[in-house]
Structure 1
């Protein structure tokens, strides 16, 4: 049997009227080769659809149109429809003169349902996201209203513009007179368009249907800035930021025969960050060129007597002043005080170690206070190009309300005193300190990094000085380059991996916009140290003195001053500052400069100008643009030639280790435990001493003191250990290859330790370990002068306080040190070593040579062969000594008795043997 069919039949539909308020769209996709579109919108609801008018050559159209679906039949319960209304689909298309319209994207929305036409509610415009497949396609500002036709009078129709209905008041945004100032600074890094370079661009700005064109740049190869860079809009714009139309930026290139192709576009969706307080405009300080000085303790009286104390002298230290370097300052700033003990004790200046890029710290906002960098795209996407960016626009905006009455005077313009737009030749110093957490590039999980710096057409590389087998390299490199800003504004620093047989890989790179740092009001060209030095490790390096910088600061910020009452008191604005207020807790230095310069620098340090720092820039690889490949710690100084030559640069060359030689003379051992028994049952040991430097595989041994019966060993043996040591960091530098097939040696830093061990020699089995001693040359326990006073309490154990000294200060030490065995978890004294330690530099070692052991040159000191007991010998190589000192000494009575007995037995045997014969002869002879 056939299954019965079931039908759902509606008796009668309900009729509704849909009003679609389509106001505007922004940031639509570009469909034409010009980088623009000719968009229109199609609204589909149930079985009907309508289209808006077409807008020409724009990515942010303003339709301001109401589409009215007069009679739409909808089945179902109106109460249910009010809760779950049907969706409205809006599709956007680009109109083409020839061919079908090109689809730009789709969005959907829900209407406000009114079951009673007299309902006073009003729909609100809102932004709907437009998508084309998975691609973002802009936003649509619209609202929808679905009114049930009940026979009552409907709301009034919206007013018309020609034959089209516009969005009615109450729904459309409230407009107000608005001023937009445009700083049209220039264009950068423009790519070719239609195989021709972009050399004569101009910019068209469009906002709310109003258009302004900039002047034309004559030749971007000579100067990419606009000669006239200020524009002004006087337009009616929505009061609420939500409804603000975008600012459309179109860059056109002026070519031969009157051609003006669009070579780049950018849509600024929101102008909120450019809005400023209108009250600040009236006061004349809407956008101060520099940050205001913060409050400080100041002296209010105009006349004051100052007693300046005499600068204290720097305290003596085991380290000389020459050992203070820039790295001391860096390590003091990172709280790594073990590598900068003297610098930290003197409380000298530190710098700011940032954990991110400088432009992203301290609310600098990318140094966009003067002008922003907006990326330009071609508009129409090219699937063949991975990056659709075709250049950059440099500029900024200021948005503020204007008086509603056109007859009222306009407020003063914000963009005044704009700096010259001519190119400026600068000296750029790039200080690269180190890299951390680099992405490994080699199969061994490490990398061989080196640096490559590119600015304009200049490229510098340290490939010949790559650092092998390291992912946290210390570069310590300074690069000096000349730049013509803004023609050469992008500084690129790459970390590359050295490969011998293949192309070097790029680990990651970072890009610094030098122009932003040059133009910012935060003065990011050369950072400010804490104090003014005219010598020493904190030598002033800027081309301007602090007083000159402070004078520029006051001039640009419209502050009175600086006025110096005397060298230690100055007035800036309405504040008075005294030098003693800043330096009363600072340790004085003989390198300090004049008092007025020091005071000017202290005042500058109270502002938000860029302070002395090291920034950490993230490295990215173009193949993995979203994954950080490590961090590069560095900073950049920019010195315009117009300000004069700068001072000498900082020396940030990595600390190089000094070559030392440790001479260790093993004189004697005492109280060594006896590990073996001789064939006669005596306790004894065949003692020798072994030593080496921690991290260095080469070990040295003394000769063997055989048959020590009382734990005493005599050696007179010299060990010679050459090594490299960084005095400032108190570390020993070891270079060695990880495998025999490794091409380069890996550098390691370790604590300088001399390890001494006492062993018992065995000819036919493994040697027996007796005891050991670790001597940290930086923290060495004092030796005992006598053997009987040598105890384990001399050694540090984390419980007892022990006096420790540095061999690098003492240079020479001699005495007894205890050796112990801690295999059971507890230290047990197993012997004492009498040693003489002498530390000399390589030059001193060459002047006073000394051989290993007792070899020539046997000097400093000369070692004589040890006077060992006659019992000290190897038994199977000296059989006569074995008989004399082992058998005869212990068994002489047994041997004598045995010999006597043997002699008696022999005599008796001879008697018994010869007696019968002699007796028979005697008897025969008597007969």
Structure 2
């Protein structure tokens, strides 16, 4: 009963306000008529002085709030792909550094002040906060220097980890002052409450230590107690309270009047506020008041929550300002309503000084509801806003007035429920007849039909004025309706005849109806467009809604799912002007250095003649080379006694024979390991660059001792400027090289340099996530379709997906400006030259190389993985070839599947764990959208190698030759075909050249093919039509288990080739089967030992002696072999002449010994493991009655003997 009933006791402390009867204007929202007499409550109590705990938390909390707001700004810029994202993150990190430094300064000077920690835990907690925040500050300064466009995601995650640590430090482990409770009392019972932490309103003379709500007018929303709250919706607000709070010691009592809004009558209580024992006033009487007119410009909302079973809503908005409220019209069945309505509130009376009302105006509450035909309207969300205040005598002119529309976040509880585009202005009503308020626009004319529902019509409906509403321009929205994928059943019925509607600002563009979605889920008429007036300002542009409906019998339509696009900025096409094109055309082209050939641009040479030798002068010197595929240079061999041509020729012939033998031994794994080594070298270079530019001390300064500098040197023979790394000292250079390189320096023979091996690109992530390929969304984008009510759980929202819409959207101004029309013809639409979306048969080859770091599935901490492929209705299981007991299996498998697009568009690669008993468990899976890759302009069907070869381990895989592919690309882009000359090629007004000397010894045969391949590898440098083409590669894809969302279960290395069946058949698949180990035999001869430690004592003479024998092994203790015993060695010398023979299986490329054995007698099959090839020899002293004594050992790499 104590919590329910309240009794008011008269005394010196006043803790309740006088009872008042609520009043209302519309019987929906009630208010208490306090008018000009504001009740005041006060409580005095005695507590231990634990202010320092609250002060410490407040300083950290203010740093956290500022840092959190900054990260939210960065996230917003990232979502719209702003170029200022990295700059803003750097600014946020710099602000964090300054905030941490301010905390350290204040805390260190306050350690001896009042309220210092009373307990040991207080002191240790302060030390912890100082240490952690100082470290976070220095780390933030260092992280700021490392922020780049390529590493933005990693740096942003690191910054978020700093925020998590700071939030943890904000909460003090011990209690300070108790929290303050505000109760709404009616009929002597408690109805609603709000709990306020004491540290939020504690007063301190230091601004950083003061509570965030201390001495300020705040709007608070009360909530129901737990028992009553269960009866009401969790989002219902029982009361809005506008309140002033202050908490402090009696010594600081005189400061509480500083925050109270001026305009009140100064009574004796205010005059005696400095006296500690004087009582605060019970009522504050305001004598200054002002009358305002509130104009609420409600334009539109976007991305609101769907409250109906169809996934849509019938929203209307209610604006609450003080004691008044007004409602907008209802917009039926939409998630992005456009009200375009002005709500006018007359004669809003506010008390206080005019300047303080302008500085801190009342809060405007906007509640969004969904109108239901039966029952009460359903709450969608709530937004808070502050109006722009205009006082009497101020000019209603730019830049302050009229106010600009702003986006306000709509929330429902802790979740985001959408955004509201609106503006609010509070205009003081003038007393002078000469001054007038800005005019109100004329009401809108709304047509009324027979079936129009008039219940929510509030005539007249005023539109948003012209100066506030966005300025509109004509745009064309062009939509590529490609098809629908993975449609689920709706109401237990399949979706047979779907249609897609695209809505923007009330206009709808409908696709054609798919007659049989199961047979062909693509649209027959893919490209459509409509023209619409959109705001010029990007901020005001409405969202775009994609709806999919099923056209059923009798003209019925059933909603399948919807997708909301909040910002159409990423789909807006901005064509460069003709002047920019001309500038780019006339600008000099940069000379490029390619991996294999010396390729350059001659510039805008329109008079190219293949037979003119003067035009075949290479732009690059012969010495220029890259690291992708090493060219074998013709070096002059100098003999000791001189040089003679016949000797050189014989030596050259022998080197060529050796190269032929070496070429025969190469396979695909040779390329793989060479590519891995190349990737490691590139990683070292990246580390060097980052270390060179961003080596900072904790204060953000560069460390000159360890940073390598760049020294430019000019070559005397070529005149080229070369850049070399230079270190300050030899010691630092040694340390740096040791830290970067895991291997020692390699010795290269003087007579012969080893020919480099062809390599390919190894991507550390998925191919579609590479920046240059943009997820292969150049033609097609995938939009998930949602159905049902949005929930608070993201995993449950994933279950709301009922299918996917594949298509593309382009938004551009219409009609086009004159300079744009000269550069590109968009009369027939943006999607010109798109491929046909008719069903096409494709041969898909999936190469599974290996898996890394799989999640253990068995009790022994390992797994027995095997591969399962799913493509449409086809499923391939490689269960019989599972790899036993390993977490890093090497599969080396190629699977061929015949697919038909669009039915078989999503490839699922799964890794299962084989179990002897019971069902097999899925380790993880990855999904690849083959259709997007197949139709992409990046040509992700078959990657391009760096060099063209017709046979061998680097043989060409594509059925089309490079010359055919290049000719086709030029034809599709409506460009002239390439023109070939001797050692050069002209494409798109650019001329590529290559050294003729590189084609000696029969290489002239495929010169045109290599020239075309060079152009394809650098296709993105071509003007107008250029774009990055997918190189030969292996991609690394993470594996995820649907039962454990978001947790990576390992990585899979693979690549996919696709070949249309209507084209020539490709060559045989590449053999990537794992290398089989070669049988070797290691023979070790033990001749003698010397200076062996003497461990035993002779029984009769007492002399030192040892019974020496040697044992050794290569694979392990089970492979141990021993010599005989050399008894009673008095000098440490032992003679044996003994031979050990160790047979083993060896992989030369990996330099590992392969051991295959059963782990135990109960094991079902053998386990393969790889260990380094190391021979271990040990010297022992044999004893008769006790254990043998260990004397010494030696380890030696056996690879030196192979």
What TM-score does the superposition give when structure 2 sets the normalisation length?
A: 0.60
- 1:138 paired with 2:418, answer yes
Residue aligning to 2:11: 3
SS of residue paired to 2:759: coil
Q: Decide whether aligned partners of structure 1 residues 207 and 516 sit closer, same or farther in structure 2, where only a CA change above 3 A counts.
A: same
Deviations 1:393-443 (A, max 9, x none): 11112211123999x999522211121111111111111222223333344
Give 1:216-231 correspondences, 5 Å limit: 216-231=513-528
Matched, 1:611 2:1027: no
1:155 aligns with 2:438: yes
- The residue number in structure 2 matching 1:241 is 538
Structure 2 residue aligned with 1:818: none
1:691 Cα deviation after fit: 2.4
Which of the residues 625, 628, 631 maps onto 2:1045? 625
What CA distance in whole angstroms lies between the structure 2 residues aligned with 1:348 and 1:405?
Answer: 53
Q: Residues of 2 paired with 1:232 and 1:140: CA distance?
A: 28
Map residues 229-268 of structure 1 onto 2, 5 A cutoff. Answer: 229-268=526-565
Q: CA deviation at 1:111?
A: 0.5
Matching residue of 1:688: 1109
- Please give the alpha-carbon distance, in whole angstroms, between the structure 1 residues aligned to 2:961 and 2:868: 32
In the alignment, which residue of structure 2 is the partner of 1:839?
A: none
2:591/2:601 contact within 8 Å kept: no
Tell me what 1:178 maps to. 475
2:305 aligned with 1:25, yes or no?
no
What is the match of residue 762 of structure 2? 353
Candidates 321, 338, 341, aligned match of 1:62: 338
Aligned partners of 2:444 and 2:412: how far apart in 1?
31
1:574–1:626 CA distance, 2 compared to 1 (3 A)? same
1:204 aligns with 2:501: yes
Deviations 1:491-537 (A, max 9, x none): 11122333334443333221111011011100011111001111111
1:367 corresponds to 2:776: yes
The verdict on how the C-alpha distance between 1:265 and 1:293 changes in structure 2, with shifts beyond 3 A counting, is: farther
Extract unaligned runs of 5+ from structure 2: 1-8, 15-281, 446-459, 583-588, 593-598, 623-631, 635-651, 681-742, 1020-1027
Q: Distance in 1 between matches of 2:905 and 2:284?
A: 72
User: 2:869 — aligned with what?
Assistant: 453
Change (3 A) 1:379 1:732: same
**Counterpart for residue 401 of structure 1:** 813
| Displacement after TM superposition at 1:711 (Å) | 6.7
**Which residue number in structure 2 is paired with residue 504 of structure 1?**
920
Matched, 1:540 2:960: no
Deviations 1:472-492 (A, max 9, x none): 332222222121112111111
**Helix, strand or coil at the partner of 1:602:** helix
The answer on whether the counterparts of 2:303 and 2:417 sit within 8 Å (CA) in structure 1 is yes
Q: Which residue of 2 aligns with 1:108?
A: 384
Q: Retained in 1: the 8 A contact 2:863–2:887?
A: yes
Q: CA deviation at 1:549?
A: 0.8
Structure number with the bigger relative contact order (C-alpha 8 A, sep ≥ 6) is: 1
CA deviation after TM superposition for structure 1 residue 620, in Å:
1.9
Contact 1:431–1:476 (8 Å) recurs in 2: yes
| Equivalence map 1:435-584=2 (5 Å) | 435-565=851-981, 568-580=983-995, 584=998
Deviation sequence 1:304-357 (CA, Å, 0-9, x none): 458999998646279744431211111111117999999993212211111111
Residues 760-806 of structure 1 show CA distances to partners (whole Å, capped at 9, x for unaligned) of: 33222333445544343212xxxxxxxxxxxxxxxxxxxxxxxxxx3
State the Cα distance separating 1:33 from its structure 2 match.
2.7
Change (3 A) 1:688 1:284: closer
**In the superposition, relative to structure 1, how do residues 358 and 2 fare at CA in structure 2: closer, same or farther (>3 Å)?**
closer
Deviates more, 1:756-765 or 1:382-391: 382-391
Distance 1:679 1:262, change over 3 A: closer
Matches within 5 A, 1:686-765: 686-706=1107-1127, 717-736=1138-1157, 746-765=1167-1186
Q: Deviation digits for residues 174-225 of structure 1, max 9, x if unmatched? A: 0011111111111111111111111211111111222221111111212111
Tell me: CA distance 1:411–1:633, structure 2 relative to 1, closer, same or farther (3 Å). closer
SS at match of 1:697: helix
Alignment of 1:750-899 (within 5 A): 750-779=1171-1200, 806=1201, 808=1202
Asked if 1:297 corresponds to 2:600, the answer is yes
Return closer, same or farther for 1:677/1:55 CA change in 2, 3 Å cut-off: closer
CA contact (8 A) 2:590 2:601 kept: no
Q: Deviations over 1:830-866 (max 9, x none)?
A: xxxxxxxxxxxxxxxxxxxxxxxxxxxxxxxxxxxxx
Structure with bigger gyration radius: 1
- 1:723/1:732 contact within 8 Å kept: yes
Report the 3-state secondary structure (helix = DSSP H, G, I; strand = E; otherwise coil) of the residue aligned with 2:423: strand
Q: CA deviation at 1:611?
A: 0.7
Give the equivalent residue in structure 2 for 1:783: none
Residues 113, 703 of structure 1: alpha-carbon distance in 2 compared, 3 angstrom cutoff: same
Pairwise CA distance, 1:134: 2.7
When residues 341 and 164 of structure 1 are mapped into structure 2, their CA distance, relative to the original with a 3 A threshold, is farther
**Aligned match of 2:316:** 40
Aligned partners of 2:444, 2:941: CA distance in 1, in Å? 55
d(CA) in 1 for partners of 2:978, 2:478: 32
Give the aligned partner of residue 1073 of structure 2. 653
* More off after superposition, 219-228 vs 428-437: 428-437
CA separation in 2, counterparts of 1:494 and 1:405?
51
- Residues 322-331 or 622-631, more deviating: 622-631
Larger helix fraction of residues = 2
* CA deviation after TM superposition for structure 1 residue 593, in Å: 6.5
8 Å CA contact 2:289, 2:353 repeated in 1: no
Confirm or deny: 8 A CA contact 1:579 1:595 kept in the other structure.
no
Q: Any conservation in 1 of the 2:591–2:600 contact (CA below 8 Å)?
A: no
Q: Is 1:376–2:785 an aligned residue pair? A: yes
Query: How far off its partner does 1:576 sit?
Result: 2.2
Seen in structure 2, the aligned counterparts of structure 1 residues 717 and 762 have a Cα distance that, compared at 3 Å, is same
Question: Where does the alignment leave 5 or more consecutive residues of structure 1 unmatched?
Answer: 286-291, 780-805, 809-927
Conserved in 1, the CA contact under 8 Å of 2:288 and 2:353?
no
Cα separation, 2, equivalents of 1:294 and 1:374: 41
* Aligned position for 2:104: none
2:1010 counterpart residue number: 598
* Richer in strand (by share): 1
Structure 1 pair 679/29, CA: closer, same or farther in 2 (3 Å)? closer
For residues 1054 and 967 of structure 2, the distance between their equivalents in structure 1, rounded to whole angstroms, comes to: 29
Structure 2 vs 1, CA of residues 145 and 668 (structure 1 numbering), >3 Å: closer, same or farther?
A: closer
**Would the alpha carbon gap of residues 158 and 667 (structure 1) be closer, same or farther in structure 2, given more than 3 Å must change?**
same
Q: Does the Cα contact within 8 Å between 2:317 and 2:366 map onto a contact in 1?
A: yes
CA contact (8 A) 1:85 1:111 kept: yes
Larger mean Cα displacement after TM superposition, 453-462 or 501-510 = 501-510
Cα RMSD, aligned residues only: 3.5
Q: SS in structure 2 opposite 1:555? A: helix
Aligned residue-pair number: 770
